Structure 1
Amino acid sequence: MVALMPSSRPPHPSHSTQTPSRTGRPRSVEAHAAILEATRAALVELGWSKLTMSDVASRARVAKTTLYRRWANKSELVVDAVAVLFDELRLPDRGSLTADIQGVVLQFAALLDRPEAKTALMAVVAESTRDEALRERIRSAIVDRQKRLVLLGRERAQARGELPYEEDPAQAARNADLIFDVIAGAVVHRALVSAEPVDGDWAHTFSLLLVNGLTAGPAAATSPQT
């Protein structure tokens, strides 16, 4: 193979000498991601009570003022750091409403089992009982963004003929809120409050109960779907 040696002659004036533009994410986006990652790492290592903005800044290799320009306090920072994890939740089409619910329940439970999510969620919810602004941030950064899963699941179920179409948009929105509250509330209580396993059996039985209702009776609780 013949190696081409670079010329020592200066470039012709007509040739561009501009440095190619940098590819990838802008520095501000990279710094933002690094801060959130450092926050999650600090939560695992230090826990909620010992985590400080200074520690996060040091881990992310940014100035502490950078953090305070974006987040007023560590509660807001932790909410955003955990919200990224919730954005990883997906709802692949498993062929039926029951199977779709079961799948997202198991995903949600696995997320809550992660040390950073478990530590952060319990802490910021407790803090939000005294802080309306923080409660609103939790609602907008986590709750409202994850309602997309309910809307997607409902659309699929309607297309399959498993659920009726709703003519009143306001009622449809209220129903979506209720479905989200039931699923999220049950899984959070089971996983974090009762500290009981959210396994395939539980997720399947819960999904059947949600789809069929209390009046369907125990006959609907068949063996878990694979």
Structure 2
Amino acid sequence: MQSRTPVPRATGRPRSAAADAAILAATREALVELGWSKLTLGDVATRAGVAKTTLYRRWAGKNELVVDAVAELFDELRMPDRGSLAADIEGVVLQFAAILARPEARSGLMAVIAESTRDDALRERIRESIVDRQKRLVHQGRTRAQQRGELPADPDPTSRTADLIFDIVAGTVVHRTLVSAEPTDEEWARAFTSLLLLGLRGSAAP
């Protein structure tokens, strides 16, 4: 099913941040209690204490609403400063896995990804709201490692290395957590990080 055409924003009273926060929190609550298939905008509106029309002024439909509700969870991710690149990577991998293990993240993300296979606009929204926003972590980690002298400065500012690093980390953790349903514990994070660093340091060699 294709996403509905976005509704143009009306002029007038500014959008309420408190209402947005309540709606996104209610969406995650509904995902946990009802699951993707039974979640409705009417139920979310009731939980959030807003009119259903308020949701439609902000989101074109259920898919877009769930993307934004899940994206807010991933915005909690932080690149820790644990003293070394290896420790920093292990820290963010464990954070990421913990978020993916939450029922609202798991059911919401899997559902919108499935829907996006036949909805280009939804796929683009996932890319902008979740993927592109979290690539900041790669840039932060690389910059800090370069400042410590653990990695050389990137000689090519247009390099797609950061995108590739993100794809490797995110793809591996998502597959491990959501597809294979295997534990993503400290031991696994350490082994994965060691393998990733071999590639990073090898690609930096002349």
TM-score, normalising length: structure 1:
0.81
Structure 1 counterpart SS, 2:76: coil
Which residue in 1 is equivalent to 2:119?
131
Equivalent position amino acid for 2:169 in 1: I
Which residue in 1 is equivalent to 2:172?
186
Residue identity (%): 74
1:104 aligns with 2:92: yes
Looking at both structures, which has the greater relative contact order when contacts are Cα pairs under 8 Å and sequence separation is at least 6?
2
| Unpaired stretches in structure 2, ≥5 consecutive residues | 1-13
The alpha carbon displacement at 1:214 in A equals: 10
Structure 1 stretches of 4+ moved >3 Å: 213-216
Task: Determine which of 96, 101, 107 is the counterpart of 1:113.
Answer: 101
Question: 2:151·2:201 contact (CA, 8 Å) conserved in 1?
Answer: no
Structure 2 counterpart SS, 1:95: coil
1:43 aligns with 2:10: no
1:86 aligns with 2:74: yes
Query: How well do the aligned residues superpose, as a CA RMSD in angstroms?
Result: 1.6
The alpha carbon displacement at 1:136 in A equals: 0.6
Structure 2 counterpart SS, 1:68: helix
TM-score, normalising length: structure 2:
0.89
Which residue in 1 is equivalent to 2:9?
none
Aligned residues: 189
Equivalent position amino acid for 1:133 in 2: A
Name which one, 1 or 2, has greater alpha-carbon Rg: 1
State how far apart, in whole Å, the 1-side matches of 2:199 and 2:138 are. Answer: 17
| Unpaired stretches in structure 1, ≥5 consecutive residues | 1-25, 217-226
State how far apart, in whole Å, the 1-side matches of 2:99 and 2:109 are. Answer: 11
1:175 aligns with 2:158: no
Equivalent position amino acid for 2:105 in 1: A
1:211 aligns with 2:192: no
Which residue in 1 is equivalent to 2:60?
72
